[in-house]
Amino acid sequence: MQKFPNGKKTKIEKVSTIEIDGLTGYEVIGTGENEKGQKELVYEVMLFSNSSYYTIIGISPTQFDSYLQVYKSIAKTFERKL
């Protein structure tokens, strides 16, 4: 999250382990600021396989609770094409 635009202003609120499509990784929830200084929700899932990784990102300037649930639902639908 720190490498996103304005990422230095992101405060990590929660980090949890997660498993999706047989891959383990981390779910990270934080708050940050956009370029206008407005608070925003930052959601990231990082999943790891043997030699690669997958990242899912959601950012919202409003309705944090609603969008957090949407982003979590979307992340759970991730499937690798084998």
Tally of domains in the chain: 1
pLDDT for 3: 64
Tens of each residue's pLDDT in the chain, 82 residues: 666 666 667 889 999 999 999 999 999 999 988 888 889 999 999 999 988 999 999 999 899 999 999 999 999 999 998 7
Q: Is residue 26 part of a domain?
A: yes
**32-59 in b/e burial notation, b at 16+ Cβ within 10 A?**
bbeeeeeebbbbbbbbeeeeeeeebebe
**pTM of this structure:** 0.87
pLDDT for 40: 92
* Residue matched to tokens 């990242």: 55
Q: Taking the CA atoms of 56, 70, 19 and 3 in sequence, report the sign of the dihedral they define.
A: positive
Strand partners, 18: 25
pLDDT for 9: 73
Q: Is residue 2 part of a domain?
A: no
Contact predicate 30/45, CB 8 Å? no
Q: Domain residues for 28?
A: 7-76
